[in-house]
Structure 1
Amino acid sequence: MLAALGACTPTVKVETPQEPITINLNVKLDADVRLRLIEEAKDDVEDNPIF
């Protein structure tokens, strides 16, 4: 009876993925660079007005 109960226990398998995990952070980095450039451009225009 004990052997029959032992055969019914659930098992969990942990396997590594076949392909490497990639995380795409280009969007956030691009937005940060653009924000910095816009702020620098605003400061430049305020310091050196064109018109």
Structure 2
Amino acid sequence: MKPAELTVRRAAATIPPMEGEARPSSRAIRSLVLAMAGLMALGGCISVEAPDKPIVIELNINIRQEVIYRLAEDAGNTIEENADIF
């Protein structure tokens, strides 16, 4: 190809409709437009507000700490009881 051929403006490609292809009727288009307008009108009715009371999330971290403490105590007792192994 020559550089001039790459920059030449041509008409946009068009695809002819297939035979028997159904086109939307004006009634269908009108009903679609009315449905979209109705949804847009209802869109303003939804509101999101912050709650009056603060959100409380309870985390019980003490359980994990207690389990680790108990395991450490058991390990210490096992070492003392079996000092010849260690």
After TM superposition, the score normalised by the length of structure 1 is 0.56
Identity, in percent, stands at 14
> CA shift at 1:29, angstroms?
1.0
Quote the RMSD (CA, aligned, Å): 3.0
Indicate the residue corresponding to 1:30 in structure 2.
66
Structure 2 CA distance for partners of 1:16 and 1:36, relative to 1, 3 Å: farther
Consecutive aligned runs of 4 or more in structure 1 exceeding 4 Å deviation: none
Larger Rg: 2
- Tell me which of the two structures has the higher relative contact order, counting C-alpha pairs closer than 8 angstroms and 6 or more residues apart: 2
Q: Structure 2: any 5+ residue segments left out of the alignment?
A: 1-36
* Structure 1 alignment gaps of length 5 or more: none
Any residues of structure 2 matched to 1:1-51 within 5 Å, and which?
A: 5=41, 8-9=42-43, 10-15=46-51, 17-18=53-54, 20-47=56-83
